[in-house]
Amino acid sequence: MSEVKDLGENEGGHHAPPLEHITYFKRFLHHDMLGSGALLVAALLAVIIANVGFAEQYHHFWESPFGLSWGEDGGFEKSIHHWVNDGLMAIFFFLVGLEIKRELLVGELASVRKAMLPVFAAIGGMVAPALIFALFNRGEASAAGWGIPMATDIAFAAGCIAMLKKWVPPSLMIFLVALAIVDDMGAVAVIAIFYTDQIALGPLMLGSGLIILSFCLGLYGVRSMAPYMIFGAIIWLAFLQSGVHATIAGILLAFSIPTKARYKTHLFQGRMKELLEKFIHAEDHWDDHMKDNEKKDLMVNHNQQGLIRHMNTECHHVEAPLQRIEHKLEPFCVFLIMPIFAFANAGVHIDFSSIGDMLVSPTTLGIVFGLVVGKPLGIFLASYIAVKAGIASLPSGVTWNHVIGVGFLAGIGFTMSLFINQLAFLGVDPEVAGELVENGKVAIFVASILAAVIGVVFLKLTDHSLNKFKNGGVIDEA
C-alpha cells in the first residue's frame, strides 16, 4: 500500500503553516470587546481632561479653525470639532451604510420572515424611548431632544454581548446586530428629516445628481474604487453646503457601491486551478544555478512570482467591492474614527455643586428613562406582539428573557446618542442650548453605563437560570 503524504507536512517532514494564519494584530483589529474598549477609554479620557483644570484648553482646541483660506472671503474653514462630526463621521456612516446594504441583500434582513423580528423590535425600541423623553420634557425647550434616546451604539452593545458569548446562544448576537442596524436606519432618517437645517437646493441637487451617477457606475460594472471616492468627496461637500447633514452623504454613497464581483466563484475556481497547475509546473524550470533545494526553498522563481501576483488579482476580482471596502474600513472606523469622535464630544465639565439639579433635569430624566426603561420595554413588547401575531418567530435557542437582556444592551446609546445630542438643540435659544447639550452628555453616560451593567448581569443570570432548569429536567422554552 502506498503511503499517503500528510498535507500538513512539506518534503522535509516539517509541518507547513496553516492555510490561513490570523495574526494577533488581525485578531486585535476585529475584536468587538477591544473596539468598544477603545471607545470607552477615549470617552473617559475626555471627561477626565475636562474636569481636572483643562476644560478651557480642551474646548479651545476642538473649536480651533482648520482648513484652506485665500483672500479675504475665499476658502473653506471649519472648526476641528466640525471636521470630526461632519467629516470623519461621514466615513463612519458610510461603513454603516455598507453594513445595512449587506444585511438587506444577504443578511438577517434579506427575507421578510427573517427581518420581521429585528424590524419590529427596533421600531418598538425607538418609539418607546422617544415617547418617554417627550413625557418628561413636555412644554420644555429640551423637547427637541426626543431623538437622543432612540439610538443604539452597536459597537458597545456588541462588545458587551461578546463578553457573554460562552453563555448566550450565537443567534442572540445576530438578533442584536440586526436590531441595531435597523435602529441605525431609523436614526439616520430622524437626522435627515428632523435635525436638518434650512436646505439650499443648488448644492443638494448637485449631490443628488452625483449619487445617481454613482449608482449608474455600479450598474455598468465599474469596480474600481477611485471614481466612487472622488464622487464621494464632492457629494459630501455638496451635502455640507446644502444644509442636509453631511453624514447622510456617507449612507447614500454606500448604497451605490457594487455588490457583485467581477465574476462568479465557479469561474474563480477554474482560474485558480489553472494558475496552480502552472505554478507547480514552473517548479521544474529553475535555472541551473538554482537547482539546489536549499536555494529553491528561499524564494520562488520569476515565473512563479508572476503567477502569485496573478492569483492575487484573481482573489481581488472574486470579492465584491462592498465586502472588500467594508472589511478594510471597519478597523479604521472602530479604532480611529469612533474614539476620536468620543474624545471630541464626551468632554463635559461637571459642576459637582449643581450635579443634583443636573441629574433631575427633564433632559437627563428623559434620556436615562428612555434608554434604560424605554428601550427594553419597547423591544420586548414589539417582539412579543410580532411573535404572538405569527408575523415573526424567536431565533433558535433564544428565550423571552434573552430578548429583555438584549433590550437593556440596546439602551447603550453612546456614540449615536452623543451625535444626535449635538444636533438636537441647534434651534434652541443659545442661552440654554449649551446647558441642554451638557445635561444630555451626562445623561447619555449614566444611561449607557446602567444599561450595559443591567444587560450583562441580566443575561448572565438568565443563563444561570436556564442551566438550572436543564439540570432539573425542566426547560422554559420560548
What 46-53 contacts at long range (C-beta under 8 Å, 24+ apart), as own/partner pairs, is 46/342, 46/343, 46/344, 46/345, 46/346, 46/347, 47/346, 47/347, 47/348, 47/350, 47/445, 49/347, 50/347, 50/348, 50/349, 51/349, 51/350
3-state secondary structure of 293: helix
Q: Residue 202 has which C-alpha cell?
A: 443648488
Which CATH architecture best describes the domain 30-65+75-196+245-260+320-471? Answer: Up-down Bundle (1.20)
Q: Residue 339 has which C-alpha cell?
A: 474614539
Q: Distance (Å, rounded) from C-alpha 374 to C-alpha 465?
A: 25
- Kindly report the backbone phi and psi dihedral angles of residue 193, in degrees, each rounded to the nearest multiple of 5, phi listed first: -90, -45
Neighbour count for residue 273 (Cβ, 10 Å): 10
Cell 422617544 identifies what position? 130
| DSSP codes, 96-116 | HHHHHHHHHHHSTTSSHHHHH
Q: Distance (Å, rounded) from C-alpha 81 to C-alpha 451?
A: 28
In the chain, domain spans: 30-65+75-196+245-260+320-471, 265-318
Q: How far is CA 430 from the centre of its chain?
A: 32
Burial of 475 (0-12, 13-18, 19+ CB in 10 A): exposed
Structural Rg of the chain based on CA atoms: 26
Angle at 338 between CA 164 and CA 160, to 5 degrees: 10
Neighbour count for residue 353 (Cβ, 10 Å): 7
Q: Distance (Å, rounded) from C-alpha 183 to C-alpha 410?
A: 9
Check residue 15 and report its DSSP letter. Answer: B
How high is the pLDDT of residue 35? 74
| DSSP codes, 299-356 | ---HHHHHHHHHHHHHHHHHS-HHHHHHHHHHHHIIIIIHHHHHHHH--PPP-GGGHH
- Kindly report the backbone phi and psi dihedral angles of residue 74, in degrees, each rounded to the nearest multiple of 5, phi listed first: -85, 155
How high is the pLDDT of residue 96? 83
Q: Distance (Å, rounded) from C-alpha 368 to C-alpha 372?
A: 6
How do residues 437-475 score in pLDDT, each as one tens digit? 999 999 999 999 999 999 999 998 887 665 655 555 444
Considering all CA atoms of the chain, what is the largest pairwise distance in Å, rounded to the nearest integer? 90
Check residue 74 and report its DSSP letter. Answer: E
Q: Which residue, 442, 249, 215, is CA-closest to 351?
A: 442
134, 128 Cβ separation under 8 angstroms: no
Angle at 344 between CA 412 and CA 368, to 5 degrees: 30
Q: Which residue, 228, 214, 106, 178, is CA-closest to 398?
A: 178
3-state secondary structure of 20: coil
Q: Which residues of the chain have pLDDT under 50?
A: 1-9, 11-14, 17, 19, 21-29, 294, 473-478
236, 249 Cβ separation under 8 angstroms: yes
Encode 312-329: b = buried (16+ Cβ within 10 Å), e = exposed. Answer: eebeeebebbbeebbeeb
How do residues 370-410 score in pLDDT, each as one tens digit? 999 999 999 999 999 999 999 988 888 889 999 999 999 99
User: What is the β-pairing status of strands 65-70 and 74-79?
Assistant: antiparallel
